[in-house]
């Protein structure tokens, strides 16, 4: 730099009155001193000195003719040197800006591990309900639902429960309005079977539905019973439906849920609304037991009692049907190896997390 200044001093010194040389000197000073501390300042600087049309260097080149011949060469060299200085100062400033950007680092640290999104899971009861529903839907069953607050007629009478049947007892049933001479009681349904009645009230055969839902019983709470639980009811009414149809569909269902080699038995039983009635057991393998396992009851079922059909105006000479009802907690506990029903209702995240 000092070298170029010396040249310009000499040029100036030799032609003190020369305006073009004065202009060159002023320009050199400005090129040297302009502060380039922002990107905007650098842009303005570039335009001011280097712009092809109006840049001050271009302007100065146009004045070469004004310069005395013996100084023309030196004048031209000085201008080129000034231009080179502009370019190098721009480059240096730009490099400095780029460096501060890098030093600051990127706005995000891409090497940090991501923050996991906490994801909930379906409750094991919901999972079992959905699985069972899906299996029966694949056999052509529709899904129906009914109210959890029922009247005595749908929950008991229409299902052929005799008036003095022990299931009506206050000990089992949560009554909302106790039976009186004015009406026969409003209650929390004790099973999903009343929805059978509601479906048959509204639809003529053929009928093929399953009914998932919550039921309530006033029982002592223990590892195996709770005051509420879930059931899936099934009902199939058509011409010529037999016990063989019932057995085959339940067997197919058990194979889907418990494996192709599931061992299953129908054990004679009693329900007011079916005749004949049975309970279905599956063989639950358990190496720790002396027999290598034990029978576990998974549902009740049977052929719909003609009394039930006739009570709803369905001709029991023409139509027959089967019904079944299963406890979901029981099935979920078997499938997932849960040994205390109460844990299903405690909302313990350590338990629920295992079902995601
Ligand atoms: N409702 C019966 C219960 O809660 C279960 C049941 C048994 C339902 C036999 C049925 C059936 O549809 O046919 O214990």
Supply the CATH number for residue 209's domain: 3.30.930.10
CB atoms within 10 A of CB 73: 11
Q: How far apart are CA 213 and CA 234, in angstroms?
A: 12
Residue 95 belongs to a domain: yes
Give the residues of the chain that fall short of pLDDT 70.
1-17, 106, 170-171, 182
Pair 99, 216 in one domain: no
Pair 142, 47 in one domain: no
The continuous run of DSSP H or E covering 335 comes out as helix 328-336
- Boundary residue ending a domain (69, 104, 139): 104
Pair 14, 100 in one domain: yes
> What pLDDT score was predicted for residue 117?
86
Burial class (CB in 10 A: 0-12, 13-18, 19+), 193: buried
Residue 110 belongs to a domain: no
Residue 175 belongs to a domain: yes
Pocket test for ligand 1, best of 300, 306, 322, 327 (most atoms within 8 A of CB): 300
Torsion of CA 189, 190, 195, 201, to 10 degrees: -70
Residue 137 belongs to a domain: yes
- Which residue owns the Cα nearest ligand 1 atom 8? 325
The count of domains in the chain is 2
Distance 172 CA to ligand 1 centre (A): 15
Distance 269 CA to ligand 1 centre (A): 11
Pocket test for ligand 1, best of 232, 233, 236, 330 (most atoms within 8 A of CB): 233
- Could you tell me if 328 and 229 are in contact, meaning their C-beta atoms sit under 8 angstroms apart? yes
Pair 54, 202 in one domain: no
> What pLDDT score was predicted for residue 2?
45
Residue 119 belongs to a domain: no
- Could you tell me if 124 and 132 are in contact, meaning their C-beta atoms sit under 8 angstroms apart? no
Residue 38: give the domain boundaries.
Answer: 3-104
> What pLDDT score was predicted for residue 106?
67
Residues 6 or more apart whose CB falls under 8 angstroms from that of 304 comprise: 196, 235, 237, 273, 274, 320, 321, 322, 323
Pair 321, 172 in one domain: yes
Pair 225, 153 in one domain: yes
Pair 67, 29 in one domain: yes
Distance 241 CA to ligand 1 centre (A): 18
Residues 6 or more apart whose CB falls under 8 angstroms from that of 276 comprise: 243, 268, 302, 303
In 3D, which of 242, 240, 329, 327 has the Cα closest to residue 280? 327
Pair 133, 280 in one domain: yes
In 3D, which of 5, 50, 42, 52 has the Cα closest to residue 26? 5
| Residue 338, SS3 per DSSP | coil
Whole-structure pTM value: 0.68
- Boundary residue ending a domain (75, 104, 133): 104
Pair 204, 300 in one domain: yes
> What pLDDT score was predicted for residue 8?
46
- Which residues in 103-141 are b (16+ Cβ under 10 Å) and which e? eeeeeeeeeeeeeeeeeeeebbbebbbeebbebbeeeeb
> What pLDDT score was predicted for residue 10?
47
Give residues (CB < 6 A) around ligand 1.
191, 193, 233, 271, 274, 300-302, 323-325
- Could you tell me if 325 and 132 are in contact, meaning their C-beta atoms sit under 8 angstroms apart? no
Q: Given the structure tokens 């069972």, which residue do they identify?
A: 132
Cα–Cα separations (whole angstroms), residue 75 to 4, 5, 16, 53, 54 = 11, 12, 14, 20, 19
Pair 172, 89 in one domain: no
Pair 143, 260 in one domain: yes
Q: Given the structure tokens 């029922």, which residue do they identify?
A: 150
Q: How far apart are CA 126 and CA 230, in angstroms?
A: 10
Pair 41, 185 in one domain: no
| Residue 62, SS3 per DSSP | coil
């Amino acid at each position: 730099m000092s070298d170029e200044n010396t040249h310009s001093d000499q040029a100036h010194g030799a032609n003190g009155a020369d305006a073009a040389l004065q202009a060159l000197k002023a320009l050199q000073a400005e090129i040297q001193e302009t502060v380039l501390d922002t990107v905007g300042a650098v842009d303005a600087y570039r335009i001011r000195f280097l712009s092809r049309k109006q840049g001050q260097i271009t302007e100065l080149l146009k004045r070469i003719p004004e310069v005395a011949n013996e100084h023309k060469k030196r004048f031209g060299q000085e201008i080129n040197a000034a231009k080179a200085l502009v370019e190098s100062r721009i480059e240096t400033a730009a490099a400095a800006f780029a460096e501060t950007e890098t030093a600051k680092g990127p706005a995000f640290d891409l090497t940090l591990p991501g923050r996991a999104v906490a994801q909930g899971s379906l409750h094991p009861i919901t999972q079992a309900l959905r699985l069972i529903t899906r299996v029966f839907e694949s056999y052509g069953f529709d899904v129906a639902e009914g109210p959890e607050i029922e009247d005595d007629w749908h929950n008991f009478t229409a299902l052929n429960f005799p008036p003095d049947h022990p299931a009506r007892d206050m000990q089992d049933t949560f009554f909302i309005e106790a039976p009186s001479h004015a009406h026969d009681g409003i209650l929390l349904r004790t099973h999903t079977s009343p929805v059978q009645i509601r479906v048959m009230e509204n639809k003529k055969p053929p009928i093929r539905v399953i009914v998932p839902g919550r039921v309530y019983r006033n029982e002592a709470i223990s590892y195996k019973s709770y005051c509420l639980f879930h059931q899936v009811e099934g009902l199939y009414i058509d011409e010529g439906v037999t016990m063989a149809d019932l057995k085959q569909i339940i067997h197919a269902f058990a194979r889907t849920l418990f494996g192709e080699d599931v061992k299953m038995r129908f054990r004679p039983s009693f329900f007011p609304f079916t005749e004949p009635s049975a309970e279905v057991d599956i063989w639950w393998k358990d190496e720790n037991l002396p027999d290598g396992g034990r029978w576990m009851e998974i549902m009740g079922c049977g052929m719909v009692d003609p009394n039930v059909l006739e009570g709803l105006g369905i001709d029991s000479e023409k139509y027959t049907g089967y019904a079944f009802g299963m406890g979901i907690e029981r099935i979920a506990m078997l499938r997932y190896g849960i040994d205390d029903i109460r844990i299903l209702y405690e909302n313990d995240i350590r338990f629920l997390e295992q079902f995601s």
